Amino acid sequence: MSTPPPDEPKRRGRAVYRACRDLVNRAPLMLPLAVVVGVIYGGTPGWAIVCVALAAAAALRAYRILLCAFFCGVIMVLCLALRQRAEDELEITAMPPPVAVELRGTVIRSLNRGCIVETDPLGVRVAAYGKLTVQPGDYVHIIGSLRNVETPLVPGMFSQAEWMRGSGIAACLDCLRFEREGSTLGYATILRAAAEVRSALADRLMPPGTEDDIRRQVLCALVLGEKDRADTSTIDIFRRGGCLHAFAVSGLHVGIVAGILWMLLRWCRVHPRVGRPALLIGVGLYVFATGMAVPALRAYVMLAVLMGSLILRRRPSYLNTWCFAAIVILMLQPWQFYQPGFRLSFVVYGAICLGVRYGMSDTPWFGPDSYIPARIHTHWERLTASAELFVRGTVVVSICAWLVSLPLSIAHFHVVNTASYLVNILIAPLLPVTMFLGLLMLVFAGVPYFGDLVQACALRGAGWLVSLVGYCGSFPGAFLPAAPPAPASDYMLMPLGHGKSACVLGNPGILAGDVHRENDVRYVLQPALFHAGYSPALCPAPRQAAAKDVFTQTWPQLHFFTAPPGTPPQSYTTPAGVFTIFAPPASQPVSYSANASPIICWQRTDAQRFLFIGNAALSTYEALPPEFRHADVLILGYNSHEPIEHPDLLHEIGAKRIILLPSAHGHNVERFLPQETAQP
């Protein structure tokens, strides 16, 4: 084995040094961006990033970059310190709820049942909830009490704490007194004007009476980013297909619009000196009309920098432009660093740049030989080469984007979209065509004949898009939770508020309790079960058809059963054990207020028995056969007509553990329970 020459380590070190210096010279804002990110992240890891970035600039003798990074870090520290001082003066983070808080500020965003108020540009952001009739730009006076931050049941469900951190919100208030004191002129007013323009344009795509048309919902979201007009079921189709990013105006949409405008300018033979500023103006108007979302602003800033470099005849650097856009956004809104959309937008853009560079340098997959000069290609060979380049770029870019977005999707959303890679490849040629037709529909809506033709084509394209995404998203395993499946012997209780709850026994097992309201199923039960790794096999038939649709969309094999009064016992066997359902006696009223609920006995594979009484009546329990009145675990609620609260009945069951449902709390049944009772 030959030994390397003595100076080989030195040569390798010099090669690494030159490579690092060349990278910093191509993207001088990369180290200042690292400093800004480190300051925002904070703690030991954040300040370690700051020190490494500054030390790297000093080691590479890039003193101007070192000075720029230092000043960026100082500005970021001062901004964060001013925000923290404003929070301390308002005394909203040091005191636990309930505490009355008084503040004056500008409304920057409207919520479903409230608004977000900012005291000043470097002040505090607070979410106020209540019956508030406000618009962005209004100056309001609010007195409210602090609200506790809700904790999600399982990872993957909506986390209010994560939403607050990603939106820069310091606290949530329940509004006690509200007064509008006028309006202000600022960024919030610009956002309101942009929202009004977007709403007016959306009315052209979705006239009154067409709100239920899923194709128009997709066009409004795809062209204008108007997701509020899309039904939850429509959003679920694109979420399961792994292309929900098409519903948020981002770099993809800005790039498509810029490409369409540039082709139109070239077709009109506009000189580049005039076309480039015109392109910036046109894309800027589109970004304004779509609500000025952060991903769209990021793409527009990058486009403006690239166009500026071409106008000034400078060589553009995509990596440096990427760093500049990130620094601008983080300087103005530091909390964007915690937004999943911000991270996905910037990381996927970097992956796309790498994919484009690799795809352009790779050898052709099919078509004419790469050694044949393009100038002597025939017409067919030119078409084949263009098609090959499109296919190669689409496949490589989709692979890169999917690989880098997968860890972020698992970390933020706790899901794995295995079909998103295929879906994004399939919709690549359809998406820009549908967007172009949607833009034409905006311009020519209402024009006789031609406007009708454009509208029909746009609706047809949106319909194909929905069908394609829905078909790919329905594949088995296309949309999976990041958590492993729950064990067969596990069970979980999910409170729903107002004394209601649901409980899943076993996996796959039975889902019992209050499973009838669509909102409870869609926003609590389905996310909690899905992300915790449960696949229920049995469920009582919901009273609302929409709730049943949510269940069947996630678990197509779910069996719904009914247990009206007087029905004989029903037994079901799953890998989790044997479930026996005892319906109320025939004398029990069927009305909802009587809580005519069945009793479920679960015999696990380890011979342990669960008795789910829930909100069942006393007469239902007394109708049980004697051999089913004993259990190791009792799950008990409260029946307002025939409560089970006598101590002899509880001792007859002989449960080693008693779990009280939320409906049982505060009733007389608690004073009869043993000391080892578990209250979730």
Task: Indicate the DSSP class of residue 245.
Answer: G
Residue with tokens 């979302």: 293
Look at the alpha carbons of 159, 162, 166, 170 in this order and tell me if their dihedral is positive or negative. Answer: positive
Q: Select from 596, 598, 572, 594 the least CA-distant residue to 583.
A: 598
The residue among 125, 157, 184 that closes a domain is 184
Residue 485 lies in a domain: no
Same-domain check for residues 386 and 495: no
Q: To the nearest 10°, report the CA torsion of 437, 440, 446, 452.
A: -40
Residue 420 lies in a domain: yes
pLDDT score at 25 = 81
Q: If the chain, 680 residues long, is cut into consecutive pieces of 10 residues, what is the mean pLDDT of each piece?
A: 63 77 83 92 90 90 90 92 83 64 86 86 85 85 85 80 87 86 82 87 88 90 86 86 81 85 86 86 89 82 84 79 88 88 81 73 71 70 78 80 85 84 84 89 85 90 90 83 89 85 92 89 90 91 89 89 87 92 80 72 90 88 88 87 78 86 61 43
Same-domain check for residues 573 and 507: yes
Residue 190 lies in a domain: no
Residue 380 lies in a domain: yes
Q: Show the beta-strand stretches assigned E in 376-460.
A: 415-417
Residue 579 lies in a domain: yes
| DSSP-based three-state secondary structure for 631 | coil
Residue 482 lies in a domain: no
Same-domain check for residues 381 and 261: yes
Range of the domain at 295: 197-473
Residue 659 lies in a domain: yes
Long-range contacts of 215-218 (CB under 8 A, 24+ apart): 215/459, 215/462, 215/463, 215/466, 216/459, 216/462, 218/462, 218/465, 218/466
Residues in Cβ contact with 201 at an 8 Å cutoff, skipping those fewer than 6 apart: 224, 289, 442
Same-domain check for residues 159 and 284: no
Same-domain check for residues 73 and 106: no
pLDDT score at 679 = 42
Q: Residue 563 belongs to a domain with what CATH number?
A: 3.60.15
Residue 191 lies in a domain: no
- The type of residue at 171 is A
pLDDT score at 54 = 92
Same-domain check for residues 416 and 456: yes
Task: Indicate the DSSP class of residue 624.
Answer: S
- The string of pLDDT tens digits covering residues 586-599 is 877 666 555 678 99
Structural domain tally of the chain?
Answer: 4
Q: How far apart are CA 196 and CA 218, in angstroms?
A: 19
Same-domain check for residues 220 and 175: no
Same-domain check for residues 420 and 503: no
- The type of residue at 291 is G
Return the H-helix or E-strand segment holding 139.
strand 138-146
The residue among 89, 115, 130 that closes a domain is 89
Same-domain check for residues 446 and 462: yes
pLDDT score at 49 = 93
pLDDT score at 591 = 63
**Number of helical (H) and strand (E) elements in the chain, helices listed first:** 22, 18
Same-domain check for residues 536 and 581: yes
Same-domain check for residues 117 and 210: no
Same-domain check for residues 307 and 373: yes
The residue among 420, 444, 473 that closes a domain is 473
What are the distances in angstroms from CA 76 to CA 41, 70, 72, 327, 331? 11, 10, 6, 10, 7
Cβ-based neighbour number of residue 369 at 10 Å: 8
Q: Residue 111 belongs to a domain with what CATH number?
A: 2.40.50.140
